[in-house]
A and B are shown apart, each in its own frame.
Chain A
Amino acid sequence: DVKVTQSSRYLVKRTGEKVFLECVQDMDHENMFWYRQDPGLGLRLIYFSYDVKMKEKGDIPEGYSVSREKKERFSLILESASTNQTSMYLCASSWGGTGIFGAQHFGDGTRLSIL
């Protein structure tokens, strides 16, 4: 089975802190994704990556950055955390390649609170 592991289930940080959320997958997937989930808004794509060191902005990239130095690991960075970034963050991975519509497999999520 595909395993996507997010480093923390719950995280509490303070306004202005630099926050790192880590995600690791064990299926050699090319694509990795970061979403945030908010009530009434569903899942919104923040950033995604289709290869090592490659990244693409999603629908709501403002205030976030990402890093993908190794194929299995995709990090989401909040450069200066703000209270409106309090949310559930979900990482996903999938097979890559144009035209390949593989199902995305998700981690358990990180519930991040910014005080």
Chain B
Amino acid sequence: AQKVTQAQTEISVVEKEDVTLDCVYETRDTTYYLFWYKQPPSGELVFLIRRNSFDEQNEISGRYSWNFQKSTSSFNFTITASQVVDSAVYFCALSEAGVTGGGNKLTFGTGTQLKVEL
């Protein structure tokens, strides 16, 4: 069975600090995708990034960066120079191929609440 673990329930940092959100996954599939979503207080989940299982290159987008390591089944997310607007719940998710025509069911972790304070 697929599983995503986000061991950090809540993280508090002061603005401008760097912060890393951990994500560890389990799957028997050889082809899979990993995702990160952000859920601000307004409630809507916002898609941040998708990474396939064959691409282990790290990715940087502005203050965000992602470190995918298949050897440790981890897909960690780092925010550099955090800002108050980064305060949100962040979810890591894993997509399985599915046996029906639709595919791409997501298994979510339990989320990490990030609080960035002044």
User: A residues within 8 Å of B by Cβ?
Assistant: 9, 30-31, 33, 35, 40-45, 48-51, 54, 56, 58, 88, 90, 92, 94, 96-109, 111
Contacts and interface: CB of A to CB of B under 8 A. Distances in A.
A44 B50 CA distance: 19
Interface stretch (B11-19, B66-74, B79-87, B99-107): B99-107
B52 A41 contact: no
Interface residues of B, number: 29
A9 to B, nearest CB: 8
A58 B95 contact: no
Nearest to A102: B104
B47 A97 contact: no
Contact of A98 (B33, B52, B101, B108): B101
B45 A106 contact: yes
A62 to B, nearest CB: 18
A41 B108 CA distance: 9
Contacts of A43: 91, 106, 108
Given A107-B44, A108-B43, A109-B44, A99 B102 contact: no
B109 A99 contact: no
Nearest to A4: B44
B111 A42 contact: yes
Contacts of B43: 9, 88, 108-109, 111
21 contacts: A31-B103, A42-B91, A42-B111, A44-B108, A48-B105, A56-B102, A96-B102, A96-B103, A96-B104, A97-B103, A98-B98, A99-B31, A99-B97, A99-B103, A100-B104, A101-B95, A104-B47, A106-B37, A106-B45, A108-B42, A109-B44
B103 A101 contact: yes
A25 to B, nearest CB: 14
Contacts of B31: 99
Contacts of B35: 103-104
Contacts of A58: 105
A58 B21 CA distance: 27
Contacts of B44: 106-109
